[in-house]
Structure 1
Amino acid sequence: MVETRRSGNTLTPAGQTRRTLLKGAAVAGGALVAGTALGSAPARADAEYDVVVVGAGAAGMTAALTAAKRGLRTVVLEKAPTYGGSAARSGAGIWIPCNEVVLAAGVPDTPAKAAAYLARVVGDTVPVERQRAFLAAGPAMISFVMRNSPLRFRFMEGYSDYYPEFPGGMPNGRSIEPAQLDGNILGAELARLNGPYMATPAGLVVYSADYKWLTLAAVNAKGLEVSAACLARGTEAALHGQKPLTMGQALAGGLRAGLATAGVPVQLNTPLLDLLIESGRVTGVVTPGGAVRARRGVIVGSGGFEHNAAMRAEFQRQPIGTSWTIGAKENTGDGIEAGERAGAALDLMDDSWWGPMIPLPDQPYFCLAERTLPGCVIVNGNGVRFVNEGAPYSDVVHVMYDRNTPGAPHIPAWLIVDQNYRDKYLFKDVAPLLPLPGSWFDSGAAYKAWTIEQLAQKIGVPQTALRGTITRFNGFAATGKDLDFHRGDSAYDRYYADPLNKPNPCLAPLWLPPFYAFKIVPGDLGTKGGMRTDARARVLRADGSVIPGLYAAGNASGAVMGHSYAGSGSTIGPAMTFGYVAANDIADTP
């Protein structure tokens, strides 16, 4: 891979950038109080372990669980007052080909199919050795987690790979998600679990795979059936006195419970200030309370830098900021910066796990099903369609950036729908027929008008162009064939669509006033660039040499997916896998 290059930074004699000095001073100046860990005492300053893991997200907790089960004395240090990170906020899809869960479900997956598919998705951005390591270790990691924690998983049947037409792609999917978990097993630690991005309605137990059908509940019998099943699960859990967790809450909670059983302390409110380096080897980490030493290795799973404005401005395309991400707020790149100071090369720093986002006043909303359902289009600042609205979310944002120019602005873009669309489908958490919150309109995230021309005037796009776009799209909806962007041709496009809408489940005309426009900005689930690592998750310098004692996994490392996204769970699956790989490498290395 090509090393990320930077310009415009002032280097100090110690090799730190002005960015890292200012940031470090801000962190070090705060008053920090150590948190307690379930089943064990807090880590002491100047304590020594075999393995120190930085970050209590999916990557870090999987790494720590693996290290502990390999007989290594391990501690997890977490900056936040909660554990779980971005994983706890997520839908917790996990993309791991050929794991025992999908094979038991009858998915016709093979290592050859998985390798062909991943190679086609990633291209030459990521070394083949890293791709092979992920595919080889992923299934073993899932089996290990199920043997050593209360976590169980379900096949997300029908959730297509994002490019199912590629060689080895699976139109019926190969992603899994956590099964329901009773939060009572966490005891007092349940209160320290990072909260979800969107809370499940009270009384319901909802899986990530249910979301598609809940969106369609007003127009589809299967949607009503799934809604009833969600209510039945919630009722049963209440009758048994359970505190049901699903999605990211189940994943993070289950890993945390596994660590408790294994006797691994999780030290909250303990940020990483720097790495401890002695005789060229990473031998621990520096925290506000002092050094925590690692006899065998340090694994950095501290997340990305999505909430670090300086880093985003330095590495990523404009416009960018920290207000359009839904990653955990503590993800400010601490681990990446510490690795950089230790000599790590960086990769993919210009990229993120992108997705079209509506900047609502309370928090940005990741626009997933809404842009795929029939009866909507996305247009640029000239009122013209520019992308398949149902394409993988990262692809949509890549196109927004690639085509954004002063003469043809694509940021923001606009999602246009009509009242017919609003009468049929859930939008975020607003049921069909119900009015949208007034705050959406007051904030400029949404607009409403009785004609297309009036709507165009409100959002500042040419009226004639927007009318022409809608007329042309309505023609495609009548024939069922999108001649411009082929929406609905891929099995992935059709996953979140309306199967009862004919002739194309993704296409319906916009005709019934009033009409609505929603602002679309380039949001993300987190950044995907970080320290360069090898197939053993060891951190590398620019010359390819290994930094002894230093490992990285998750969004603190350059993603094995490169600039693409293989399927639901392409963030969490590799994060957990390389945490597992790192811990096993430490255990296997004398």
Structure 2
Amino acid sequence: METLVIEKTDKIGGTTAYSGGGVWVPCNHLQAQQGISDSPQDAATYINAIVKEGAPASTPARRAAYLEFSPKMAQFLHEQGFEWNLDLPYPDYHALEPGASLTSRSISPAPFDLKTLSGNWQSQLRRPTDWRPVVTSVEARSPLRLGASIGDFIKTAQLAVLRPLWAMMRGKKLAATGLALVARLLHTNLCLGTKFWTDAGLNQLLTSPAGDVVGALVERDGKVLKVQAKRGVILAAGGFARNPEMREQYLQKPTQTEWSLTAPEDRGDAIRAAMDVGADIALMKHAWWMPCLIDNGKPMLDVYARSFPHSIIVDQSGRRYFNESECYCDAGSNMLARNGETPSIHSWLILDSRHRRKYMLGQLLPGLTPRSSITSGFLYKGSTLGGLANPIGVDEHQLQETVNRFNKFALDGVDQDFRRGLNPYNKTFSDPSHRPNPNLGTIERGPFYAVKIYPGDIGTKGGLVTDERARVLNR
């Protein structure tokens, strides 16, 4: 049997190459190796608590199939030489739900030497658009809070300076997170004989008289080629986050491609091709929402800055409206829901001088706030909260009232409004050196700063409905 992968661009990796590279795999072999208890029953309890019975595109059989085969997938790749890490600690996103793991069910690739790839394959990998140190998602926590403690500073120096230096001395070129995931999968497939065509776009799916998909028309080098499939066609081409027409048709409003952190080519080609031959679709109004900051037209994901102490998010009336440390998808959903009541797109990330001294903000290093970041309109600055409120168009008295209330919570260590920092998942994105609550810190030391924050995304969720054997179902 021959396997052919077609990629419509000249780069392999798609949005995955920009990602943290994490894969949610309950009962994986790494948990067992580290003595972490997990069970299919607990994982099923968690899924059932999150995805309610009768939810679109979900059945008990499909959930059971995922729980059965995802650990087998991870083990199979391991046996082919794919090196995984257990992301520890990384609690489940909804860590207070029954069946949730408070340790980790997330695995990601170990850093990978790109020079392992033969020929020109290294140059054909899609690269992240921003500079990143060679760190795993878990290791990234220290660089993002570089100024918070001596321990974080030392750890950052080891990761960002000593690791690449040691790799260079050994003639290695290391990659981590999503780029490592793509590179390792590419390397594994090449070793197994998989063929790849780049600059080869899906034009149309071919069907038999009975309606089965038996191949595809592929556009390559200016020609349309007919590719017959003996064992099936797998569609693994993401969503439609960069397709403005599909966003307007399906997603919650307002919606902008400029807020998306996905690859530019994520335009729904596979979904539309399958719909053309009668495929059923579901969940098309949903996305993997990701609050983002925009600097000079470039969106930057915000997982940590909004979650660290000395910060809050307010709507355009100056009021808080959700737990800023909750998982990115829920945070984006809350921004969209709030906008139906009070203008909240954009919202404002409000922080004080201690946040700027200790933590990363977008691409700004701790303690470094160049004037250009303010003159460009990315960052707003005020010596007082009142002085900040006016230029951002927020009522001064309401903002002060919101901050005063929040500061009381920060001193007590308990967010009485939204329970921020009381969820194990929240603490994953916190400053453990801060007390009493690692996610809460008063906002009282000027100068004060504000940044526009939008409901960006890292991809759309909707797509083709399948059965428990991954077969696409007809409408």
> Does TM-score exceed 0.5, indicating one fold?
yes
- Measure, in 1, the Cα distance between the counterparts of 2:375 and 2:204: 44
Q: For residue 74 of structure 1, report the CA deviation from its aligned partner.
A: 1.2
What corresponds to 1:155 in structure 2?
Answer: 86
What corresponds to 1:130 in structure 2?
Answer: 62
Aligned match of 1:247 in 177, 186, 200?
A: 177
- Measure, in 1, the Cα distance between the counterparts of 2:129 and 2:66: 27
What corresponds to 1:502 in structure 2?
Answer: 435
Contact 1:156 1:176 in 2 (8 A): yes
Does residue 1:193 correspond to 2:128, yes or no?
no
Does residue 1:434 correspond to 2:368, yes or no?
yes
Name the SS of the counterpart of 2:67 in structure 1: helix
Aligned match of 1:333 in 268, 271, 290?
A: 268
Contact 1:375 1:507 in 2 (8 A): yes
- Measure, in 2, the Cα distance between the counterparts of 1:161 and 1:262: 33
Contact 1:356 1:521 in 2 (8 A): yes
Q: Which amino acid aligns with 2:200?
A: T
What corresponds to 2:356 in structure 1?
Answer: 422
Q: Deviations over 1:306-329 (max 9, x none)?
A: 000000000011110211111111
Contact 1:354 1:522 in 2 (8 A): yes
Aligned match of 1:380 in 315, 318, 343?
A: 315
What corresponds to 1:171 in structure 2?
Answer: 102
Q: For residue 194 of structure 1, report the CA deviation from its aligned partner.
A: 0.5
TM-score by length of 2: 0.95
- Measure, in 2, the Cα distance between the counterparts of 1:286 and 1:76: 13
- Measure, in 2, the Cα distance between the counterparts of 1:529 and 1:437: 41
Contact 1:180 1:245 in 2 (8 A): yes
Aligned match of 1:98 in 2, 27, 34?
A: 27
Q: Which amino acid aligns with 1:498?
A: D
C-alpha change, 1:113 and 1:221, in structure 2 (3 Å) is farther
Contact 1:275 1:338 in 2 (8 A): yes
1:11-30 matches, cutoff 5 A: none
Aligned match of 1:222 in 131, 151, 164?
A: 151
Q: Deviations over 1:285-305 (max 9, x none)?
A: 112222111122111111110
RMSD: 1.5
The range that moved more, 85-94 or 384-393, is 85-94
- Measure, in 2, the Cα distance between the counterparts of 1:427 and 1:363: 14
Contact 1:348 1:530 in 2 (8 A): yes
1:401-420 matches, cutoff 5 A: 401-405=336-340, 408-420=342-354
Aligned match of 1:538 in 468, 471, 475?
A: 471
Q: Deviations over 1:334-375 (max 9, x none)?
A: 000011111011111000111111122152011011011000
Q: For residue 281 of structure 1, report the CA deviation from its aligned partner.
A: 2.0
Q: For residue 246 of structure 1, report the CA deviation from its aligned partner.
A: 1.1
What corresponds to 1:515 in structure 2?
Answer: 448
- Measure, in 2, the Cα distance between the counterparts of 1:436 and 1:335: 44
Gaps of 5+ in 2: none
Aligned match of 2:199 in 235, 258, 269?
A: 269
Name the SS of the counterpart of 2:231 in structure 1: strand
Runs of 4+ in 1 over 3 A off after TM superposition: 440-445
What corresponds to 2:48 in structure 1?
Answer: 119
Q: Which amino acid aligns with 1:373?
A: F
- Measure, in 2, the Cα distance between the counterparts of 1:162 and 1:468: 31
Does residue 1:232 correspond to 2:138, yes or no?
no
Name the SS of the counterpart of 2:298 in structure 1: coil
What corresponds to 1:88 in structure 2?
Answer: 17
1:361-376 matches, cutoff 5 A: 361-376=296-311
- Measure, in 2, the Cα distance between the counterparts of 1:360 and 1:274: 38
Q: Deviations over 1:523-582 (max 9, x none)?
A: 01101100111111100112xxxxxxxxxxxxxxxxxxxxxxxxxxxxxxxxxxxxxxxx
Q: Deviations over 1:444-474 (max 9, x none)?
A: 3321111212211111121111111011111
What corresponds to 1:49 in structure 2?
Answer: none
What corresponds to 2:387 in structure 1?
Answer: 454
Which structure has the higher relative contact order (CA within 8 Å, separation 6+)? 1
Contact 1:304 1:332 in 2 (8 A): yes
- Measure, in 2, the Cα distance between the counterparts of 1:520 and 1:392: 15
Q: Deviations over 1:52-90 (max 9, x none)?
A: xxxxxxxxxxxxxxxxxxxx2110111111001111111
- Measure, in 2, the Cα distance between the counterparts of 1:433 and 1:250: 30
Contact 1:381 1:409 in 2 (8 A): yes
Q: For residue 431 of structure 1, report the CA deviation from its aligned partner.
A: 2.0
Gaps of 5+ in 1: 1-71, 543-590
Q: Deviations over 1:111-145 (max 9, x none)?
A: 11111111112222221111111110001000111
Contact 2:293 2:362 in 1 (8 A): no
Percent identical among aligned pairs is 35
- Measure, in 2, the Cα distance between the counterparts of 1:107 and 1:232: 31
Contact 1:151 1:251 in 2 (8 A): no
Contact 2:147 2:367 in 1 (8 A): no
What corresponds to 1:477 in structure 2?
Answer: 410
What corresponds to 2:187 in structure 1?
Answer: 257
Contact 1:105 1:155 in 2 (8 A): no
Q: For residue 442 of structure 1, report the CA deviation from its aligned partner.
A: 4.2
C-alpha change, 1:362 and 1:409, in structure 2 (3 Å) is closer
Contact 1:272 1:286 in 2 (8 A): yes
Contact 1:107 1:174 in 2 (8 A): no
